[in-house]
């Protein structure tokens, strides 16, 4: 995914714009975020787009702030 200058996220596959408000990070049965992995640039979570489309969301660490990608 690539963030454009309007704060949207784009799927590399189809270029369909995706706004952060459309994304819901899923929770495990214990209530914690469903983390798929992590690395030096941030964490990846299991999520849905518009409550139906399964997606993976990378939350980048930018200084002390986090940003969706």
Q: Is 15 left (phi over 0), alpha (psi -120 to 50) or beta?
A: left
Q: Is residue 24 a contact partner of residue 56, using CB atoms and an 8 Å limit? A: no
Tokens read off for 63: 């200084």
Mean pLDDT, the chain, as a whole number?
A: 79
Smallest CA-to-CA distance from 23 within 65, 1, 54, 2 is with 54
Tokens read off for 68: 């969706």
Residue with tokens 């969301």: 57
User: What's 57's DSSP letter?
Assistant: E
What pLDDT digit, counting tens, does each position of 27-48 carry?
999 999 999 999 888 899 999 9
């Amino acid at each position: 995914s690539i963030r454009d200058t309007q704060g949207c996220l784009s799927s590399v596959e189809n270029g369909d714009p995706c706004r952060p408000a459309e994304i819901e990070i899923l929770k495990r049965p214990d209530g914690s975020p469903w983390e798929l992995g992590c690395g030096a640039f941030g964490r990846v979570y299991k999520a849905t787009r518009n409550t139906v489309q399964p997606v993976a969301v990378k939350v980048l660490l930018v200084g002390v702030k986090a940003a969706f990608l």
